Amino acid sequence: MTPALHRQSGALPLHLQLAAQLQRQIHDQAMVAGSRVASVRDCARRFGVNPQTVVAAYDWLQARGLLESRPRQGFYVRPVAAADTAPAATSCPLCPTQGAGLLRSNLGQAPAELRASPGAGTLPASWLQTPAPARALHQLLRRAQCGEATASYGPAEGDPLLRELLARQLAELDVPARMEDLLLCNGATQALDLVLRALTRPGDAVLVEQPGWPLPFAQAARCGLEQLAVARRGDGPDLQQVEGWARTRRPRLMLLVSRLHNPTGSSLGCACAHRLLELARQYGFLLVEDDVYAALCEQASPLLSAMDRLQRTVLIGGFSKLLAPGWRVGYLAAPPEQMTRLREAKLLGGLASPLLTERALALLLQRGGLHRHAAALRARLARARQLAVHLARQHECRFLFPPRGLFGWVDTGVDTERLARGLHRQGYLIAPGHCFDPVGAAGSCMRLNFAQAQDASFWQAFATMRRALRDDAERGAE
Residue 10: what pLDDT? 46
| Reported confidence tier of residue 82, pLDDT bands at 50, 70, 90 | very low
Lowest mean pLDDT among 227-231, 298-302, 349-353, 429-433: 349-353
Task: Out of 3.40.50.300, 3.30.479.10, 1.20.58.760, 1.10.10.10, select the CATH number for domain 14-84.
Answer: 1.10.10.10
Please give the helix or strand (H or E) that residue 4 lies within, else none.
Answer: none
> What is the separation, in whole angstroms, between the first and last Cα of the chain?
24
Q: Which fold has domain 96-126+372-477?
A: Aspartate Aminotransferase, domain 1 (3.90.1150)
306-339 pLDDT, tens per residue?
Answer: 999 999 999 999 998 888 887 889 999 999 999 9
Question: What gap in Å lies between CA 430 and CA 120, rounded to an integer?
Answer: 7
Q: How many CB atoms lie within 10 A of CB 143?
A: 13
* For residue 272, pLDDT beyond 70: yes
| Residue 263, preceding peptide bond in cis (omega within 30° of 0) | yes
Rounded alpha-carbon distances, angstroms, from residue 428 to 174, 219, 393, 453, 462: 42, 27, 19, 11, 9
Torsion angle of alpha carbons 111, 112, 114, 118, nearest 10°? Answer: 10
Mean pLDDT of 423-442: 88
**Helix segments in 143-186, DSSP class H:** 145-150, 160-171
Judging by beta carbons within 10 Å of its beta carbon (0-12, 13-18, 19+), is residue 218 exposed, middle or buried?
buried
Between the alpha carbon of residue 257 and those of residues 1, 169, 191, 287, 302, the distances in Å are: 42, 19, 14, 10, 11
Does the pLDDT of residue 428 top 60, yes or no? yes
pLDDT digits (tens, 9 = 90+) for 337-380: 999 999 999 988 777 777 888 888 888 888 887 888 899 999 99
pTM: 0.77
| 330-333 and 182-185 beta bridge pairing | antiparallel
Q: Which of 30-34, 50-54, 61-65, 85-89 has the lowest mean pLDDT?
A: 85-89
Q: Evaluate if residue 49 carries a pLDDT over 50.
A: yes
HSE-up (13 A, CA, CB side) for residue 348: 10
What is the helix (H) or strand (E) element at residue 133, kind and residue range?
helix 132-142
* Rounded average pLDDT over 280-292: 97
Mean pLDDT calculated for residue range 238-259 = 94
At position 366, the amino acid (one-letter code) is Q
CB 257 within 8 A of CB 296: no
Three-state secondary structure of 9-73? CCCCCHHHHHHHHHHHHHHCCCCCCCCECCCHHHHHHHHCCCHHHHHHHHHHHHHCCCEEEECCC
Q: Buried (b) or exposed (e) across 23-52, using 16+ Cβ within 10 A?
A: beebbeeebeeeeebbbbeebbeebebebb
With a cut of 70, say whether residue 80 has pLDDT above it: no
pLDDT of residue 85: 36
Assess contact for 149 and 140: CB atoms under 8 A: yes
Q: How far is CA 315 from CA 20, 94, 181, 255, 262, in A?
A: 37, 26, 10, 10, 16
Fold adopted by 132-369: Aspartate Aminotransferase; domain 2 (3.40.640)
Q: Whole-angstrom Cα distance, residue 328 to residue 322?
A: 11
Give pLDDT, residue 256: 97
Range of lowest pLDDT (142-146, 163-167, 184-188, 450-454): 142-146
Does residue 98 carry a pLDDT above 60? no
Query: Domain locations in the chain?
Result: 14-84, 96-126+372-477, 132-369
Residue 217 three-state SS: helix
Question: What is the predicted pLDDT for the residue at 148?
Answer: 58
Residue scoring higher pLDDT (190 or 80): 190
Tell me what pLDDT residue 111 has. Answer: 54
pLDDT at 30 over 50: yes
Q: How buried is 433 (Cβ within 10 angstroms: 0-12 exposed, 13-18 middle, 19+ buried)?
A: buried
pLDDT beyond 80 at 384: yes
C-alpha span between 388 and 403 (Å, rounded):
10
